[in-house]
Chains A and B, each alone.
Chain A
């Protein structure tokens, strides 16, 4: 006598469950550019424009046509990273560029008509410039990749190249 329960449909049941999960779930791990917004100024605080030497700012303007104007010069997105690195790691050599990375401030301003893609590309290139400088510094100082350093060492590097990116509120000039 054969008393075994027929288990051949088990596979089909499991397949159904599997397909259900495949359909209802997503695999993608969210990745992106992490930033911190500046806190809203309190009503009673006065806005004091701290004097920043003109050479220490790196103003990046993006217009409604996604064109870049960096420190008064038209620039393409391909050049932005290299030029930003030059500005940050100048250390007082060129009188037009920054005194040192600690004082240097990257200032972003875009138009309400700028495309989001362009905005992200600019953010990305500026971040890339900082990351590359940190990587180089880490190689020079510790002979290791920045990612492989321990927390204290990373902190040291970050202190040398603090990411100072200021964002102005966008202007509405273009045809948006």
Chain B
């Protein structure tokens, strides 16, 4: 009868966790590859509109962002709630756009300049006045490829 009792009484061996770091590292690499670093902290509230006819932006490195929206509560205390433009990390006026475009152009290869896209991330509550001012400045700076950032919508009119 002693045949079966040999294993009894012994605690189950601990599960080996030696491979756990490897699993986590795989996850880590996945995230490193699949995501991009957040370059700017948003100082304006941006909730982009929804649309159906969306196109993907091909080249992330050739895209520069222009944010327009109400300042976040921190800044609203001093700046009020009128919509503001944010370029890189600071608030800006439409007059700063031309300089901004020049700065962005310096960053990329000369041959790629014609493919640069400016992506407007504009809050849906914003009125068109300020948006048209920005568009006008972009035309002056000869930056004509423009993207209106939006999120997908499923229901169709």
Q: Do A and B bind each other?
A: yes
A: which residues have CB within 8 A of B? Answer: 7-8, 10-11, 13-15, 17-18, 21-22, 24-27, 29-40, 77-78, 80-81, 110-117, 119-121, 123-125, 127-128, 131, 169-170, 172, 176
Looking at the assembled complex, report how far the CB atom of A50 sits from the nearest CB atom of chain B, in whole angstroms: 20
Do B34 and A35 touch across chains, with their CB atoms under 8 A apart? no
Residues of A within 8 A of B21 (CB): 7, 10-11, 13-14
Complex: A15 Cα to B21 Cα, angstroms: 8
Do A14 and B124 touch across chains, with their CB atoms under 8 A apart? no
Residues of B within 8 A of A110 (CB): 128
Residues of B within 8 A of A125 (CB): 157
Do A32 and B129 touch across chains, with their CB atoms under 8 A apart? no
Do B55 and A119 touch across chains, with their CB atoms under 8 A apart? no
Does chain A have a CB within 8 A of B36?
yes
Complex: A68 Cα to B143 Cα, angstroms: 29
Looking at the assembled complex, report how far the CB atom of B19 sits from the nearest CB atom of chain A, in whole angstroms: 9
CB-CB contacts below 8 Å: B7-37 with A: 17-18, 20-21, 24-25, 27-28, 31-32, 34-37
Do A15 and B145 touch across chains, with their CB atoms under 8 A apart? no
Closest-by-CB residue of A relative to B131 is A116
Residues of B within 8 A of A34 (CB): 55, 57, 117, 145-147
Closest-by-CB residue of A relative to B54 is A31
Residues of B within 8 A of A10 (CB): 20-21
Complex: A13 Cα to B28 Cα, angstroms: 11
* In the complex with contacts A39-B142, A119-B131, A33-B147 CB distance below 8 A: yes
Does chain A have a CB within 8 A of B151?
yes
Residue in B56, B151, B157 with the greatest tally of chain A CB atoms within 10 Å: B157
Interface of B is mostly: mixed
Top 10 closest A-B pairs, CB basis? A112-B129, A25-B35, A117-B124, A14-B24, A10-B21, A124-B51, A32-B149, A11-B20, A31-B54, A127-B53
Looking at the assembled complex, report how far the CB atom of A138 sits from the nearest CB atom of chain B, in whole angstroms: 16
Looking at the assembled complex, report how far the CB atom of B55 sits from the nearest CB atom of chain A, in whole angstroms: 5
* In the complex with contacts A7-B18, A32-B150, A34-B147, A121-B142 CB distance below 8 A: no
Given contacts A24-B38, A27-B34, A111-B128, 20 further A-B contacts (CB under 8 A): A10-B21, A11-B17, A13-B21, A18-B28, A21-B32, A25-B32, A29-B56, A30-B56, A30-B57, A31-B55, A31-B57, A40-B139, A40-B142, A80-B157, A116-B122, A119-B128, A120-B150, A124-B51, A124-B52, A128-B52
Q: Which of B31, B57, B119, B157 contacts A22 (CB 8 A)?
A: B31
Question: What 0/1 pattern do residues 132 to 152 of B give for CB contact below 8 A with A?
Answer: 100110111011111111111
Residues of A within 8 A of B156 (CB): 128
Do B157 and A78 touch across chains, with their CB atoms under 8 A apart? yes
* In the complex with contacts A14-B21, A115-B128, A32-B57 CB distance below 8 A: yes
